[in-house]
């Protein structure tokens, strides 16, 4: 029989769960439902004629098929390409590992329109990869989706891998198991929760991809998301858009249910240990290292196309566009605004995500608790799979009364980014926290540590690396302008991606050059931030 939990713990758990739930209710569920409501009941009464009509169209069926095919293909490839990279970059110590880890992360934050230009520069008939004939094909879309999402696989799985207790694998090896057998029977099952987490996130990102699909597919490939966008923005056909949003919601919930089952199967019996020095790169790692370098090189190819074009001026090679971009009145303030927005979004996502992760990683007592825990988990994941158009416009129509009328203040920007960052934070933290042996906490408690002390000494100490990784994700989501931000009305000062977008949508070589220079600067900013967070983390971990 377990001891009754002290009041302060119950109160803490309530707060850790209640605040994120309230946050999602106000800024996600209410806007979503508000938008669905005016679509399904335009005159105040539910009218399902349009709904049935949309779901019966052959076009809708084709688009569902395309959405699932694109997302599934890209997810599988991102996993196959990314897992070996995680194995090397997160488990081995060598000169340059940190730089490579940061490089892998850069694509994640680049603006879609810039990546579109970069890929199409490679794929156009006269481009470096023009001979492949990929321009406007399904393969081109997949390539770009993998490019964006490989960071999710490498980070999510890599962080879990770092904190796995290596003794099981070592024991199996010492008993004569081949490296392949050790991987298959010990390591992979232990990693499974993180792999499924990454897969779910990548799948949802790909299934809701919008610009990438249009720019690289040359219009013939649509997704549910592009269809919702067209129906809403071009035709303002809200009933049809609501029908598709609802369909999207059902698919996402189904996917999350399946992925949660798969994830949970592996979450027992795997222990987390404190961050320990990683082994040096050995001879046995040659194959993995070669693969990783190949993947990194492939990721760098579109970036190289960007850098080359940003240096190509009408009068030869030069830094003219960088000088022009940085000399413009808005560049410095755009960088600062991007950073401060990112800090706000990351702060919201981390505070909410950490509380939620700690609450959800407590051992569940009853089956009922388990069920609620699953529901909560799915609620947090939901925003990744729901149309940003719907949520963004939903915010404008529902958050329109004081004290919630923040539509014109700009605060909705970091909030909608935090909504997307929150599930990533949770997915990174949960596998590690759930792997903590409860006996550690019990031992600490029996030695007289208060619940707060246990949290600090056990949970947070073991989670130092994942917290750093979650921070990087949250900052990146904001820097990359994820979420519903492009459907809100925003104050006129641009963030870096918005400034880049404004430049790239204007004619003239100068504007394009400056937009590309700005993108390279954004990439370097991400590299610097990733490096900084890793360094901080090393410092913090050392302090314990």
Using a 10 angstrom Cβ sphere, with 0-12 exposed, 13-18 middle and 19 or more buried, the burial of residue 90 is buried
Give me the least distance between CB of 402 and another protein, in Å please.
7
245: preceding bond cis by omega (within 30 degrees): no
Q: Number of residues in contact with another protein, rule: CB under 8 A?
A: 52
Q: Is 404 in the site for another protein (CB under 8 A)?
A: no
Sole binder of another protein in the list 63, 89, 103, 117 (CB under 8 A)? 117
Sole binder of another protein in the list 93, 491, 535, 536 (CB under 8 A)? 491
What is the rounded distance in angstroms from the CA atom of residue 495 to the CA atom of residue 482? 13
The DSSP code for 157 is H
CB 518 within 8 A of CB 327: no
Sole binder of another protein in the list 273, 278, 378, 490 (CB under 8 A)? 490
Sole binder of another protein in the list 33, 511, 527, 532 (CB under 8 A)? 511
- Residue list 170-229, contact with another protein (CB under 8 A): 211, 214-215, 218-220
CB 12 within 8 A of CB 454: no
Q: Which is nearer to another protein, 365 or 489 (CB)?
A: 489
Q: Which residue has tokens 């492939």?
A: 298
N-term to C-term CA, the chain: 33
Q: Is 236 in the site for another protein (CB under 8 A)?
A: yes
State the binding string over 280-319 for another protein (x if CB under 8 A, else -): -----------------------------x----------
CB 125 within 8 A of CB 110: no
| Cα–Cα distances in angstroms (integers) from residue 3 to residues 437, 442, 443, 457, in the given order | 18, 11, 14, 21
Q: Is 110 in the site for another protein (CB under 8 A)?
A: no
Q: Is 230 in the site for another protein (CB under 8 A)?
A: yes
Q: Which is nearer to another protein, 178 or 400 (CB)?
A: 400
Residues near 53 by beta carbon (within 8 Å), at least 6 away in sequence: 240
Q: Is 330 in the site for another protein (CB under 8 A)?
A: yes
Q: Which stretch binds another protein (CB under 8 A): 48-56, 60-68, 69-77, 509-517?
A: 509-517
What is the rounded distance in angstroms from the CA atom of residue 259 to the CA atom of residue 294? 30
Sole binder of another protein in the list 108, 501, 518, 530 (CB under 8 A)? 501
Sole binder of another protein in the list 56, 176, 507, 542 (CB under 8 A)? 507
403: preceding bond cis by omega (within 30 degrees): yes
Q: Which is nearer to another protein, 323 or 397 (CB)?
A: 397
DSSP 71-95: HHHHHHHHHHHHHHHHHHHHH-B-T
CB 353 within 8 A of CB 425: yes
Give me the least distance between CB of 391 and another protein, in Å please.
13
Q: Tally Cβ neighbours within 10 Å of residue 172.
A: 18
Q: Which is nearer to another protein, 48 or 489 (CB)?
A: 489
What is the rounded distance in angstroms from the CA atom of residue 93 to the CA atom of residue 271? 22
What is the rounded distance in angstroms from the CA atom of residue 474 to the CA atom of residue 458? 24
Q: Which stretch binds another protein (CB under 8 A): 12-20, 67-75, 393-401, 411-419?
A: 393-401
Sole binder of another protein in the list 166, 177, 237, 324 (CB under 8 A)? 237
Q: Is 126 in the site for another protein (CB under 8 A)?
A: yes
Q: Which stretch binds another protein (CB under 8 A): 149-157, 187-195, 231-239, 446-454?
A: 231-239
Q: Is 137 in the site for another protein (CB under 8 A)?
A: no
Residue 111: half-sphere exposure toward Cβ, Cα within 13 Å: 26
Q: Which is nearer to another protein, 402 or 448 (CB)?
A: 402
DSSP 233-251: IIT--HHHHHHHHHHHHHH
Sole binder of another protein in the list 15, 48, 171, 233 (CB under 8 A)? 233
Give me the least distance between CB of 293 and another protein, in Å please.
29
Q: Which is nearer to another protein, 8 or 220 (CB)?
A: 220
Q: Is 11 in the site for another protein (CB under 8 A)?
A: no
Q: Is 393 in the site for another protein (CB under 8 A)?
A: yes
DSSP 31-43: HHHHHHHHHH-TT
Q: Which is nearer to another protein, 37 or 372 (CB)?
A: 37
Sole binder of another protein in the list 401, 448, 542, 543 (CB under 8 A)? 401
Give me the least distance between CB of 147 and another protein, in Å please.
16
The torsion angles phi and psi of 371, rounded to 5 degrees, stand at: -60, -45
Residues near 34 by beta carbon (within 8 Å), at least 6 away in sequence: 394, 397, 398
What tokens were used for 124?
């156009």
Nearest Cα to Cα of residue 149 among 115, 183, 121:
115
Q: Is 506 in the site for another protein (CB under 8 A)?
A: yes
Sole binder of another protein in the list 56, 58, 96, 125 (CB under 8 A)? 125
Q: Is 42 in the site for another protein (CB under 8 A)?
A: no
What tokens were used for 237?
């056909």
What is the rounded distance in angstroms from the CA atom of residue 207 to the CA atom of residue 72? 8
Q: Which is nearer to another protein, 380 or 413 (CB)?
A: 413
Residues in contact with another protein by the rule CB under 8 A: 113, 116-117, 120-121, 124-126, 211, 214-215, 218-220, 230, 232-237, 309, 329-330, 393, 396-397, 400-402, 405, 407-408, 486-492, 498, 501-502, 504-512
């Amino acid at each position: 029989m377990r001891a009754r939990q002290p009041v302060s713990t119950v109160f803490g758990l309530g707060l850790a769960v209640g605040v994120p739930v309230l946050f999602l209710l106000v800024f996600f569920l209410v806007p979503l439902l508000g938008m669905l409501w005016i679509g399904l009941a335009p005159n105040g009464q539910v009218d399902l004629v349009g709904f049935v009509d949309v779901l019966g169209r052959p076009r809708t069926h084709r688009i569902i098929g395309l959405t699932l095919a694109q997302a599934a293909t890209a997810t599988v490839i991102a996993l196959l390409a990314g897992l070996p990279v995680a194995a090397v970059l997160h488990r081995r110590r060598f000169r340059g590992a940190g730089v490579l880890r940061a490089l892998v992360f850069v694509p994640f934050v680049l603006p879609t329109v810039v990546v579109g230009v970069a890929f199409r520069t490679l794929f156009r008939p006269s481009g470096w990869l023009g001979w492949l004939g990929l321009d406007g094909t399904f393969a081109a879309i997949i390539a770009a989706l993998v490019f964006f999402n490989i960071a999710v696989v490498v980070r999510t799985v890599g962080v879990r891998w770092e904190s796995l207790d290596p003794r099981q694998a070592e024991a199996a090896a010492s008993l004569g198991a081949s490296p392949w057998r050790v991987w298959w029977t010990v390591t992979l099952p232990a990693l499974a929760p993180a792999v499924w987490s990454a897969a779910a996130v990548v799948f949802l990102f790909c299934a809701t991809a919008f610009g990438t699909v249009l720019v690289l597919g040359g219009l013939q490939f649509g997704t549910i998301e592009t269809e919702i966008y067209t129906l809403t923005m071009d035709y303002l056909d809200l009933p049809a858009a609501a029908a598709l949003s609802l369909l999207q919601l059902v698919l996402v919930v189904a996917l999350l249910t399946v992925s949660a089952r798969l994830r949970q199967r592996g979450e027992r019996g795997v222990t987390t240990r404190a961050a320990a020095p990683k082994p040096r790169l050995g001879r046995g790692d040659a194959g993995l290292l070669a693969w990783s370098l190949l993947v990194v090189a492939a990721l760098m190819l579109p970036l190289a196309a960007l850098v080359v074009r940003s240096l190509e001026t009408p009068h030869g090679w030069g830094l003219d566009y960088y000088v022009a971009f940085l000399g413009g009145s808005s560049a410095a303030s755009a960088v600062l605004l991007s950073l401060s927005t990112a800090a706000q979004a990351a702060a919201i996502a981390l505070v909410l995500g950490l509380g939620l992760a700690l609450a959800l990683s407590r051992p569940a007592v009853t089956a009922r608790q388990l069920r609620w825990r699953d529901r909560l988990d799915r609620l947090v994941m939901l925003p990744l799979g729901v149309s940003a158009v719907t949520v963004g416009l939903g915010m404008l129509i529902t958050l329109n009364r004081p004290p919630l009328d923040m539509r014109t203040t700009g605060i909705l920007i970091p909030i909608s980014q935090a909504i997307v960052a929150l599930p990533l934070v949770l997915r990174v933290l949960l596998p590690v926290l759930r792997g903590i042996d409860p006996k550690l906490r019990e031992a600490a408690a029996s030695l007289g540590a208060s619940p707060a002390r246990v949290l600090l000494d056990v949970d947070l100490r073991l989670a130092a690396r994942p917290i750093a990784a979650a921070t990087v994700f949250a900052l990146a989501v904001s820097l990359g302008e994820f979420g519903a931000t492009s459907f809100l009305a925003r104050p006129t000062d641009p963030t870096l991606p918005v400034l880049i977008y404004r430049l790239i949508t204007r004619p003239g070589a100068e504007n394009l050059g400056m937009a590309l220079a700005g993108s390279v600067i954004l990439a370097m900013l991400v590299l610097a931030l990733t490096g900084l967070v890793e360094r901080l983390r090393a410092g913090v971990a050392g302090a314990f």
